Amino acid sequence: MTDRPSSDIAFSPAVKRIQAERGSREAYARIEARGGFRIAIDTKLESFLADVDTAYLATASASGQPYAQHRGGPRGFIRVVDDRTIGFVDFSGNRQYISTGNLAENPRAFLFLMDYAHRRRIKLWGHARVVAADADLLARLMPEGYGAQPEQVILFAIEAWDSNCPQHIPQKFAAADVAQALAERDARITELEAENARLQDLVRSAPGRS
């Protein structure tokens, strides 16, 4: 295990030079002095993963051609495997296999996780590999009751991770969450209307009312 700051994975010499030119290097140097980005999975990351239902997986070919692909599932579909590894089931899709092909020749990968409802995001750098024939692992990571067709598993070994500030993240809510909130509101309105009608009947029937 190297003792370099984990933020070096993102802050190359070229990046640091531009940070110095534009006035942000000193602030990031202080972060590096405190240990840089995080590596091990902690309760913050584990809790975040439990709420995630969408992710973007970036890979690159051996020649360096980048590619980003959406991965989704029910909340919590990305699961903790051990203190440095997360994994998820890769469901059948359009069968282009670009990410799978890239990982076959270049294991470097990046995960970008978004929580639009709470305006949070987490970035993870690491190495990923495809596990295509492990029934036990597939069963362990397959979301319960999810109807998609599982094809393989992707394991992501974390080298560094960091969270971003919420600046410029638009707040969006899942349709199912909005529908539930509206249903709860409508049920409460119906309950209050019934209570209001009951109280009005009591007032009208009270002694002395003409």
- Confidence at residue 2, expressed as pLDDT on a 0 to 100 scale: 52
> Same domain, yes or no, for 78 and 117?
yes
> Same domain, yes or no, for 71 and 26?
no
Contact by Cβ (8 Å): 130, 154: yes
Span 6-61, pLDDT tens digits: 899 999 999 999 999 999 999 999 988 888 899 999 999 999 999 999 999 999 99
Domain of 4, in residue numbers: 1-36
> Same domain, yes or no, for 80 and 157?
yes
Structure tokens at 158: 């974390």
> Same domain, yes or no, for 72 and 120?
yes
199 belongs to a structural domain: yes
> Same domain, yes or no, for 158 and 55?
yes
168 belongs to a structural domain: no
- The confidence band for 144, taking pLDDT boundaries of 50, 70 and 90, is very high
> Same domain, yes or no, for 131 and 199?
no
Span 84-97, pLDDT tens digits: 999 999 998 888 99
- Confidence at residue 204, expressed as pLDDT on a 0 to 100 scale: 82
> Same domain, yes or no, for 79 and 112?
yes
- Confidence at residue 209, expressed as pLDDT on a 0 to 100 scale: 63
How far is it, in rounded angstroms, from Cα 162 to Cα 38? 6
Q: First and final CA of the chain: distance in angstroms?
A: 88
159 belongs to a structural domain: yes
> Same domain, yes or no, for 65 and 124?
yes
- The confidence band for 166, taking pLDDT boundaries of 50, 70 and 90, is confident
Q: Which CATH number covers residue 64? A: 2.30.110.10
How many domains would you assign to the chain? 3
> Same domain, yes or no, for 11 and 42?
no
- Confidence at residue 1, expressed as pLDDT on a 0 to 100 scale: 47
Q: Is the pLDDT of residue 3 over 80?
A: no
Range in 9-13, 126-130, 136-140, 203-207 the model is least confident about: 203-207
124 belongs to a structural domain: yes
Q: Is the pLDDT of residue 179 over 80?
A: yes
120 belongs to a structural domain: yes
Q: How is 102-146 classified by DSSP, letter by letter? A: HHHH--EEEEEEEETTTTEEEEEEEEEEEE-S-HHHHHHHSPTT-
> What is the average per-residue pLDDT within 112-139?
92
> Same domain, yes or no, for 55 and 158?
yes
Contact by Cβ (8 Å): 36, 8: yes
How far is it, in rounded angstroms, from Cα 197 to Cα 195? 5
Closest CA to 78 of 56, 99, 100, 50: 50
Contact by Cβ (8 Å): 86, 50: no
210 belongs to a structural domain: no
> What is the average per-residue pLDDT within 153-177?
85
- Confidence at residue 4, expressed as pLDDT on a 0 to 100 scale: 63
- Sign of the alpha-carbon dihedral angle for 56, 60, 61, 65: positive
> Same domain, yes or no, for 77 and 27?
no
Structure tokens at 79: 């699961």
> Same domain, yes or no, for 57 and 147?
yes
Q: How far is CA 179 from CA 18, 41, 182, 184, 186, in A?
A: 46, 33, 5, 9, 10
- Confidence at residue 139, expressed as pLDDT on a 0 to 100 scale: 93
Give whichever of 72-76, 113-117, 201-205 has the largest mean pLDDT: 72-76
70 belongs to a structural domain: yes
Q: Is the pLDDT of residue 201 over 60?
A: yes
